[in-house]
Structure 1
Amino acid sequence: MARVLSLCRLVRAPQQPLRLAVRSMSLDQRAREVFSAAVESVQPDRVVRRSLERRGDQLEVAGRSFKLQHNVHLVGFGKAVLGMAAEAEKIVGEHLVKGVISVPNGIQETLRQHGKEQMLLSSGSRITVMEGAKHNLPDADAQQAADSIRQLASSLTDTDLLLVLISGGGSALLPAPVPPISLQEKQDVTRSLAAAGATIQELNTVRRSLSLLKGGGLAACAKNAQVVALILSDVIGDPLDLIASGPTVECEIWPEQVWAILNHYGLPASSLPASVTEVLENAGHKTAKLSADSSSGDNSRITNAIIGSNSIALECAGRRARELGLRPLVLSPSVSGDVRSVARLYGLLARYASGPLPATSSQAKHLSQLADKLLQLGPEVGIESWDLMRTMKVLEDSRDETWGATCLLAGGEPTVQLTGKGRGGRNQELALRVGLELGDGLGTNVGGDKGPVFLSGGTDGQDGPTEAAGAVTDGALAEEARGQGLETDDFLVNNDSFTFFSQLRQGQRILMPGLTGTNVMDVHIMLLPPPPALTD
């Protein structure tokens, strides 16, 4: 918690003269401010600066101290790694010997165009930047970068320190199939599994068995060197073995387990490339003998540290919400499942929060029914019953307290069922669906105050194949759409939420911060005004 608060202090509290301006801000504006604070708190340079500290000839990270003697080598892979590497090099300074990072195709030029020069390496950098994985798919350029990273790690001795920078997208940027498997053959196997419905855990189990660097393979290449991995998580729950497929995390690989998965999804040996069958048959029991985290003792050779995550972003968003006169309430950083179910959950929460303190048995029964529906829906969208009950209790208490609007915060990565060929992303589609949920009797409150406002945004600034991060909506959305002759159902069927929001109110509801340079999944913000006064 102390580290989270330290990160959150990057968001400046409004001074006394600004309080009047804060009060005059609309809920829409406050939601956007809270989202900006969430994104700022997990910027690559900021999280590295707060997690990596140099004191003389000592480098301190995750409660451990490492001797600096011109012995630092750096590798990295992921969408946010360029900014992480730029800051890490500034901190390590002359002790950095060499570095290689694998980053998305075109990211350097894109960052320049968005004015993100602080995330670019200096002209005299000792770090080589290699771009690849066009369209977020492993390719020959990414494989070449992976080969360079493997060669660097393999050259180290027990006097060296390998600093590994990892962020979302790292798996595609570090493809290194076990020979004689080709990159295309490995991709074909994993695609077939994904199409058959394999879980991410099952996909990673198979992918690691066919990879030289995943599942602890990179750290194993570093032999006896100290390995420190700084990780910006884009996976729900921050599981070290799933982020970029865990290249610095201990992993046991049992061929019989891999075969069981392949057979379960209709991929027997006879259907696989001969190279894949050969590797699995010759693998035996393979274990990367690593220590998964620094908790195993001070003598551990491997240190993995989560330095940025959705949870940290939500904590810092809550701090900013409080500065804006809102009551922060974090629901969960683990929202998942279909956007239709997620939208339904937010609609139910808005209804639960909007009702007055029960004064009659019918009102109490209504709230009880809403609570039952929420608890039934929770497992479907990745939210624990405890978190829902805690949230409902806070919403109940707010009915007879003096707080203004409550700022409900959540994060995660819902999914969209593709039924059309329109332009959009999960955040914009979720915002559209929640807006329709809020329009059912929740457009305004007693006294004419605006009803709940909902924002959903991707922390990377890109929602699907669009230049938007998401959208902001409220209960007036359906009426506005009808007034402009826009049929919301047509846009939803075609997965065309970006076109919808572009046309609605001339795009005023679109959330467009530009490329952020980071990625810790999505942030959901729902501002809930005070409920009506007590009725007898």
Structure 2
Amino acid sequence: MQASPRELLVKMFEAAIESAQPGHCIPPHLPAPGAGRTIVIGAGKASAAMAQALEKSWAGPLSGLVVTRYGYAVPCERIEIVEAAHPVPDQAGLDAAQRIMSLVSGLHADDTVICLISGGGSSLLPLPLEGITLEDKQHVNRALLASGATIGEMNTVRRHLSAIKGGRLAAACHPARVVTLLISDVPGDQPCDIASGPTVGDPSTCADALAIVRRYGIALPPAVREVLESGRGESVKPGDPSLSRCETRMIATPQMALEAAAAVAREAGVTPYILGNAIEGEARDLGKAMAGIARQVAEYGQPFAKPCVMLSGGETTVTVRGQGRGGRNVEFLLALGLSLEGRAGIHALAGDTDGVDGQEEIAGAVLAPDTLERAWGLGIKPADSLQDNDGHGFFGALGDSVVTGPTLTNVNDFRAVLVLE
């Protein structure tokens, strides 16, 4: 292996991100033009880049509107790009959602709607059901983000408070043909969980949403509770006639990203092992577990021989107890490092492929055998940083943050634990 451990880890992370770039993924999956109008809509961190890639490959007329995260817009000529807030929604997202619903009203059977959906779309399309305010949605979003709920659980609640998610956007497009192109950022690649499924049927119910709220002790605004308890927030179910002309195409997934990273490792003479693309759970618990496996590899060559890299994806959770700057990937790394106790030959990188870990404009960080020692030398107590949910503060002070800027895609978290001779 000629590259340094850090260089190899960063190169694998970059390959994972590159594999999910819309310029590669969009052209092979575009539908043939229909007899009527072609309208492009969408939401997500990758939606603007997806729209740009579509424009470059589409010869005929089209128009439309997509909403992306602040800082993620790219220039388009025929499709309007607007920006809004993520992960807590704002008025700009609400306005964009209302405009998208207006764009698809009154369509005909010979019209085609191409819907570009990627991770982050839930927050970027905050169109509340009647009686619920944007402030109510913001309150629920913040509570969910801090609760430790999985992304699937969060999106189950969101689908039942929305006038656009849970299949409602597709129902508004009927009778037009709807082709949804998805970049998955969720464990299991379930279409109803990507941006809370605006164009696909939702098998979950208001009762399911209420059970999640109770499970995590989330206090709901009265209007939100009324929508769930009355059943007024019920979503569009699979098999509904309004979804009969809808088609979904998965164009990039966490598994594809991990396979791209694995190819980089092989080229460097390091054997890759993909442990899973949909790993969930508390970030710090996963860090401890991965440390145990890495130690077994380093000391006994089990279950894998050195040199190797263990790759995984998915979306962990952080139950916020401290006042730190957060980040589930850096929380994973900090717990991993504490459990490894500076074990020689073990390096790691964890980051979000969208370039934003938590609410920071930082993708993640790298961990080395000397990380704890360097922190102690600066007077930083790693255990205190973990207790305070301050992974970003910890790795930032060491100069070990990984900052990519907006990647214009999102296939969830990337973790690589490298065990060398």
Shorter chain as denominator, the TM-score bin is: 0.7 to 0.9
Gaps of at least 5 residues in structure 2 are none
Native 8 Å contact 1:165 1:229 kept in 2: yes
Determine which of 306, 314, 318 is the counterpart of 2:258.
Answer: 314
Alignment TM-score, normalising by the size of structure 2: 0.88
Opposite residue 482 of structure 1, the aligned amino acid is W
Q: CA-to-partner distance for each residue in 1:195-222, whole Å, 9 max, x for gaps?
A: 7777655554454333222111111111
1:79 corresponds, among 14, 23, 45, to: 45
Please, which of 3, 14, 27 is the counterpart of residue 36 of structure 1? 14
Give the 3-state SS of the residue equivalent to 1:212 in structure 2.
Answer: coil
- Work out whether 1:331 is the aligned partner of 2:225: no
1:241 counterpart SS class: helix
User: In structure 2, do the counterparts of structure 1 residues 190 and 51 end up closer, same or farther at CA, with 3 Å as the change threshold?
Assistant: same
- 5+ residue gaps in structure 1? 1-22, 53-58, 60-65, 109-119, 295-299, 358-366, 368-391, 399-403, 444-450, 531-536
Contact 2:112 2:176 (C-alpha < 8 Å) held by counterparts: yes
| Letter of the structure 1 residue corresponding to residue 322 of structure 2 | G
Selected match of 1:128 from 71, 74, 80: 80
Asked if 1:225 corresponds to 2:225, the answer is no
Q: Which residue of 2 aligns with 1:458?
A: 352
Equivalent residue number for residue 418 of structure 2? 527
Distance in 1, Cα, partners of 2:324 & 2:149: 26
1:216 paired residue number = 167
Please give the alpha-carbon distance, in whole angstroms, between the structure 1 residues aligned to 2:35 and 2:150.
Answer: 44
| Aligned residue among 384, 405, 409 for 1:514 | 405
Stretch of structure 1 that moved more, 307-316 or 67-76: 67-76
**TM-aligned CA deviation for residue 459 of structure 1:** 0.9
Q: Distance in 1 between matches of 2:341 and 2:228?
A: 57
Question: Rg larger in 1 or in 2?
Answer: 1
Query: Which SS does the other structure have where 1:171 is aligned?
Result: helix
Asked if the contact 1:68–1:95 (Cα under 8 Å) also holds between the matched residues in 2, the reply is: no
Query: Does 2:315 align with 1:413?
Result: yes
1:107 maps to which residue? 72
Q: Please tell me whether the aligned partners of residues 316 and 328 of structure 2 are also in contact (alpha carbons under 8 angstroms).
A: yes
Residues 466 and 95 of structure 1: is their aligned pair in 2 closer, same or farther, counting only changes over 3 Å?
A: same
User: Which residue of structure 1 lines up, in the alignment, with residue 119 of structure 2?
Assistant: 168
2:54 maps to 1:88: yes
The one-letter code of the counterpart of 1:345 is: A
The Cα shift of 1:406 comes to 0.9
TM-score between both structures, scaled by the size of structure 1: 0.70
How many angstroms apart in 2 are the aligned matches of 1:262 and 1:424?
23
Residue in 2 that maps onto 1:345: 289
| Residues 513/106 of structure 1: CA separation in 2 closer, same or farther (3 Å cut) | closer
Which residue is equivalent to 2:5?
A: 27
* Equivalent position of 2:339 in the other structure: 437
**Superposed counterparts of 1:269-288, under 5 Å:** 272-273=222-223, 277=226, 281=230, 283=232, 287-288=236-237
Q: Output the amino acid matched with 1:491.
A: S
Q: Distance in 2 between matches of 1:32 and 1:262?
A: 38
Distance 2:329 2:228 in 1: 41
CA–CA separation in structure 1 for the residues paired with 2:35 and 2:323? 56
Letter in 1 for 2:383: D
Kindly indicate whether the alpha-carbon contact (under 8 Å) linking 2:112 and 2:177 is maintained by their aligned counterparts in 1: yes
Give the Cα–Cα distance (whole angstroms) in 2 for the partners of residues 192 and 490 of structure 1.
24
Count of aligned pairs between the two proteins: 420
Paired position in structure 1 for 2:363: 469
101 and 491 in structure 1: CA distance in 2 versus 1, 3 angstrom threshold: same
The one-letter code matched in structure 2 to 1:496 is D
Deviation at 1:88, TM superposition (A): 0.8
- 8 Å Cα contact 1:216-1:290 kept in structure 2: no
Partner deviation per Cα, 1:210-258 (whole Å, 9 max, x = no partner): 3222111111111111110011111111111111111111135766666
Paired residues of 1:142 and 1:175 also in contact (CA < 8 A): yes
Task: Give distance in 1, aligned partners of 2:346 and 2:332.
Answer: 15
Contact 2:185–2:411 at 8 Å: present in 1 too?
yes
